[in-house]
Structure 1
Amino acid sequence: MKKLLVIACFFFGGIAGAQAQQTSPVWPGCEDAEDKSECFNEKLNAHVRENYEYPMKQNAYVRGEVKVSFNINEEGKVIVNSVEGSEPLVNEAAREMLKKIPDMKPGTLNGEPDSRNFTTTYRF
């Protein structure tokens, strides 16, 4: 019985050790943060607040909701995949804001640079 227990421990320990080691992209200024993922989210939210420019139409701000999808590729550059919403002016303003995201240290998978996809919805 003890042998079976020892074998089971090695087996399940081996499975746990075989899982992929993954890290998130690192936004500039988050290199020394204790929780880089939380810092990334804070910097992204600040970027949206500071860089989204509300479009105007007939002397009024145009508002709307957009679903955005972008990758941070193996070089740490942002690639906009899609911006979907019912208001074309808001879609374009959101796309321009995403293009201003700074280059960063890419995420890794097992120590190698790896592309990461992000999808979220914003109401402007």
Structure 2
Amino acid sequence: MKNIFLLVLLFIGFGAFAQDDVSVKGNKVSMKETAPVWPGCEASEDTKACFNSMLMKHIKENYKYPKNENGEYIRGKATISLVVNEEGKVVVKEVTGKHPKINKEAKRMIEAIPEMVPGQLAGKPRAISYKIPLTF
């Protein structure tokens, strides 16, 4: 009777600690990481390509070129460090660039990205970091 009880507990233990998207081969443990999914890309076969195209579309539609004191458009580069958190919201960590007005506008534009399906690691929501260089 004790052996059957121990066997049942063993199977319950394995089932309780099993994780999706985790594989163990020898002494290697692999966990599958999935990227965040942009709204409207859920049914796409290549969600990464869809994410990239939707991000570029968002940038083209939402970036407003700032002007200098003479009324001329300012052009330049900015690098944006951002995180898509566990809730799928975009959080800008840092914007670096030569022109403060471009940096401010780039931050505003990235913060306007819609909430998305968060990235996952081993089937659990996870924050995913990105660094995006942009030339305006």
Is structure 2 residue 59 aligned with structure 1 residue 45? Answer: no
Structure 1 residue ranges (4+ consecutive) displaced by more than 6 angstroms after TM superposition: none
Q: Which residue of 2 aligns with 1:123?
A: 135
Structure 1: tracts of 5 or more residues without a match: 1-12
Partner in structure 2 of residue 33 of structure 1: 44
The CA distance in 1 between the partners of 2:52 and 2:80, in whole Å, is: 15
Q: TM-score if structure 1 supplies the norm length?
A: 0.86
TM-superposed CA distance for 1:16, in Å, is 9.1
**Rg larger in structure:** 2
Q: Distance in 1 between matches of 2:74 and 2:113?
A: 22
Deviation of the 1:114 alpha carbon: 0.4
AA of the residue aligned to 1:73:
N
Q: Tell me, what secondary structure is at the counterpart of 1:61?
A: coil
Identity of aligned residues (%): 41
SS in 2 for 1:60: coil
Report the Cα distance in structure 2 between the residues aligned to 1:34 and 1:112, rounded to whole angstroms: 21
Secondary structure, counterpart of 2:37 in structure 1: coil
- Find the residue that maps to 1:18 and give its secondary structure: strand
SS at match of 1:32: coil
CA distance in 1, matches of 2:33, 2:135: 31
1:75 is matched with: 87
